[in-house]
Amino acid sequence: MRQRIGILRVIKDLKVLIRFQFILGVLLLCSFGWSEGLGFKLTPEATKALRKLSLPGIKLNLKERCVDVNATICLHKGLLELVACTKGTKEHESILSVAARPMHIHTAMLLMGASPGTPAMRKAQEGARTRWVPVEPAGDPVCVSLVFAESKGKPQEYPIQKFISPAQPD
Protein backbone atom coordinates (compact mmCIF):
# COMPACT_ATOMS: atom_id res chain seq x y z
CA MET A 1 0.00 0.00 0.00
CA ARG A 2 1.39 3.40 -0.92
CA GLN A 3 1.46 6.27 1.53
CA ARG A 4 1.30 9.83 0.30
CA ILE A 5 4.05 12.13 1.47
CA GLY A 6 3.61 15.83 1.05
CA ILE A 7 4.56 19.05 2.69
CA LEU A 8 2.02 19.88 5.41
CA ARG A 9 -0.40 17.13 4.37
CA VAL A 10 -1.97 14.98 7.04
CA ILE A 11 -2.43 11.33 6.16
CA LYS A 12 -4.66 8.84 7.94
CA ASP A 13 -3.53 5.26 7.57
CA LEU A 14 -6.68 3.25 8.26
CA LYS A 15 -4.84 -0.05 8.66
CA VAL A 16 -2.51 1.15 11.37
CA LEU A 17 -4.82 3.86 12.73
CA ILE A 18 -1.93 6.26 13.10
CA ARG A 19 -2.06 9.87 11.99
CA PHE A 20 0.95 10.98 9.97
CA GLN A 21 2.08 14.25 8.56
CA PHE A 22 4.89 13.68 6.12
CA ILE A 23 7.44 16.11 4.85
CA LEU A 24 10.22 14.91 2.64
CA GLY A 25 13.44 16.82 2.75
CA VAL A 26 14.88 14.53 -0.01
CA LEU A 27 17.56 16.95 -0.66
CA LEU A 28 18.28 18.59 2.66
CA LEU A 29 21.26 20.50 1.48
CA CYS A 30 23.66 20.76 4.36
CA SER A 31 26.94 21.49 2.68
CA PHE A 32 29.33 23.60 4.71
CA GLY A 33 30.39 25.67 1.74
CA TRP A 34 27.01 26.77 0.49
CA SER A 35 26.41 29.88 2.48
CA GLU A 36 29.19 30.79 4.86
CA GLY A 37 32.25 28.90 3.59
CA LEU A 38 32.16 30.14 0.00
CA GLY A 39 30.83 33.55 0.89
CA PHE A 40 27.55 32.83 -0.90
CA LYS A 41 24.91 35.12 0.53
CA LEU A 42 21.48 35.89 -0.89
CA THR A 43 20.68 39.53 -1.52
CA PRO A 44 17.27 40.79 -0.38
CA GLU A 45 16.18 40.96 -4.04
CA ALA A 46 17.26 37.37 -4.66
CA THR A 47 15.50 36.20 -1.50
CA LYS A 48 12.29 37.92 -2.58
CA ALA A 49 12.52 36.36 -6.06
CA LEU A 50 13.18 32.88 -4.64
CA ARG A 51 10.14 33.15 -2.37
CA LYS A 52 7.99 33.79 -5.45
CA LEU A 53 9.56 30.93 -7.43
CA SER A 54 7.35 27.90 -7.94
CA LEU A 55 8.72 24.54 -9.06
CA PRO A 56 6.28 21.59 -9.20
CA GLY A 57 6.57 19.37 -6.13
CA ILE A 58 9.41 21.44 -4.64
CA LYS A 59 9.62 24.01 -1.88
CA LEU A 60 12.72 26.14 -1.34
CA ASN A 61 13.35 26.45 2.38
CA LEU A 62 15.43 29.63 2.53
CA LYS A 63 15.62 29.71 6.33
CA GLU A 64 17.23 26.27 6.57
CA ARG A 65 18.89 26.52 3.13
CA CYS A 66 17.41 23.27 1.90
CA VAL A 67 15.13 21.95 -0.81
CA ASP A 68 11.97 20.11 0.28
CA VAL A 69 10.62 17.64 -2.28
CA ASN A 70 7.15 16.04 -2.13
CA ALA A 71 7.26 12.27 -2.52
CA THR A 72 5.34 9.04 -2.05
CA ILE A 73 6.66 5.99 -0.21
CA CYS A 74 6.49 3.21 -2.76
CA LEU A 75 8.63 0.44 -1.24
CA HIS A 76 8.31 -0.61 2.39
CA LYS A 77 10.33 -3.80 2.11
CA GLY A 78 12.28 -5.44 -0.68
CA LEU A 79 15.38 -5.15 -2.81
CA LEU A 80 16.47 -1.60 -3.42
CA GLU A 81 17.94 -0.18 -6.63
CA LEU A 82 17.31 3.55 -6.09
CA VAL A 83 16.49 5.81 -3.18
CA ALA A 84 14.09 7.90 -5.27
CA CYS A 85 12.67 7.83 -8.78
CA THR A 86 10.17 9.84 -10.78
CA LYS A 87 6.56 8.69 -10.99
CA GLY A 88 5.87 5.91 -13.46
CA THR A 89 9.45 4.63 -13.65
CA LYS A 90 11.20 2.31 -11.15
CA GLU A 91 8.80 2.45 -8.23
CA HIS A 92 9.08 -1.31 -7.70
CA GLU A 93 12.72 -0.89 -6.64
CA SER A 94 12.82 2.61 -5.05
CA ILE A 95 11.92 3.80 -1.57
CA LEU A 96 10.38 7.04 -2.82
CA SER A 97 8.60 8.28 -5.90
CA VAL A 98 8.84 12.03 -6.52
CA ALA A 99 6.50 14.14 -8.61
CA ALA A 100 9.19 16.74 -9.31
CA ARG A 101 11.33 16.41 -12.40
CA PRO A 102 15.06 15.84 -11.81
CA MET A 103 15.77 19.01 -13.77
CA HIS A 104 13.68 21.01 -11.28
CA ILE A 105 15.41 19.45 -8.27
CA HIS A 106 18.79 20.27 -9.81
CA THR A 107 17.67 23.84 -10.54
CA ALA A 108 16.49 24.27 -6.94
CA MET A 109 19.83 23.00 -5.63
CA LEU A 110 21.73 25.41 -7.87
CA LEU A 111 19.50 28.29 -6.76
CA MET A 112 20.31 27.49 -3.15
CA GLY A 113 24.02 27.82 -3.95
CA ALA A 114 25.17 24.28 -4.68
CA SER A 115 27.88 23.83 -7.28
CA PRO A 116 27.24 21.44 -10.19
CA GLY A 117 28.79 18.03 -9.80
CA THR A 118 29.25 14.70 -11.54
CA PRO A 119 28.15 11.23 -10.36
CA ALA A 120 30.51 8.37 -9.57
CA MET A 121 31.30 6.43 -12.73
CA ARG A 122 33.86 4.25 -14.47
CA LYS A 123 36.20 5.40 -17.19
CA ALA A 124 38.03 3.31 -19.77
CA GLN A 125 41.80 3.51 -19.48
CA GLU A 126 43.44 2.48 -22.71
CA GLY A 127 46.60 0.45 -22.79
CA ALA A 128 47.63 -3.05 -23.81
CA ARG A 129 44.27 -4.08 -22.42
CA THR A 130 41.35 -1.77 -21.79
CA ARG A 131 40.88 -1.33 -18.08
CA TRP A 132 37.99 0.35 -16.31
CA VAL A 133 38.91 2.60 -13.41
CA PRO A 134 36.49 4.22 -10.96
CA VAL A 135 36.04 8.00 -11.06
CA GLU A 136 35.02 9.63 -7.79
CA PRO A 137 31.89 11.81 -7.68
CA ALA A 138 32.41 15.57 -7.60
CA GLY A 139 30.31 18.42 -6.24
CA ASP A 140 29.05 19.65 -2.91
CA PRO A 141 28.09 17.10 -0.24
CA VAL A 142 24.33 16.61 0.07
CA CYS A 143 22.39 15.25 3.06
CA VAL A 144 19.23 13.36 2.17
CA SER A 145 16.67 13.09 4.97
CA LEU A 146 13.06 12.10 5.47
CA VAL A 147 11.07 14.45 7.68
CA PHE A 148 7.65 13.40 8.91
CA ALA A 149 5.43 13.86 11.93
CA GLU A 150 5.41 11.18 14.59
CA SER A 151 2.17 10.06 16.24
CA LYS A 152 2.20 13.16 18.48
CA GLY A 153 2.42 15.41 15.41
CA LYS A 154 5.93 16.72 16.05
CA PRO A 155 8.12 16.71 12.90
CA GLN A 156 11.06 14.30 13.12
CA GLU A 157 14.00 14.15 10.72
CA TYR A 158 15.82 10.92 9.90
CA PRO A 159 18.79 10.38 7.58
CA ILE A 160 17.93 8.24 4.57
CA GLN A 161 20.48 5.64 5.76
CA LYS A 162 18.06 4.70 8.57
CA PHE A 163 15.70 3.28 5.92
CA ILE A 164 18.32 1.25 4.04
CA SER A 165 19.89 -1.98 5.25
CA PRO A 166 22.15 -4.57 3.61
CA ALA A 167 20.46 -7.53 1.96
CA GLN A 168 20.65 -10.62 4.13
CA PRO A 169 21.85 -13.82 2.43
CA ASP A 170 19.32 -16.68 2.46
Q: What average pLDDT does this structure show over 131-140?
A: 91
Task: Choose the most confident range, by mean pLDDT, from 15-19, 23-27, 62-66.
Answer: 62-66
Q: What average pLDDT does this structure show over 4-28?
A: 29
Say if residue 37's pLDDT is above 70: no
pLDDT in tens, 48-92: 888 888 889 998 888 888 899 989 889 888 888 889 999 999 999
pTM: 0.66
- Name the band, by pLDDT with cuts 50, 70 and 90, for residue 101: very high
Return the pLDDT at 148.
83
- Name the band, by pLDDT with cuts 50, 70 and 90, for residue 103: very high
Residue 138: half-sphere exposure toward Cβ, Cα within 13 Å: 6
DSSP letters along the chain, please? Answer: --EE--TTEEEEETTTTEEEEEEEEEEE---TIIIIIT-----HHHHHHHHH--BTTEEEETTTTEEEE-EEE--SSS--SEEEEETTSSGGGEEEEESS-HHHHHHHHHHTTPPP-B--EEEEE-SSS-EEEEE--BS---EEEEEEE-TTS-EEEEEGGGG--PPPP-
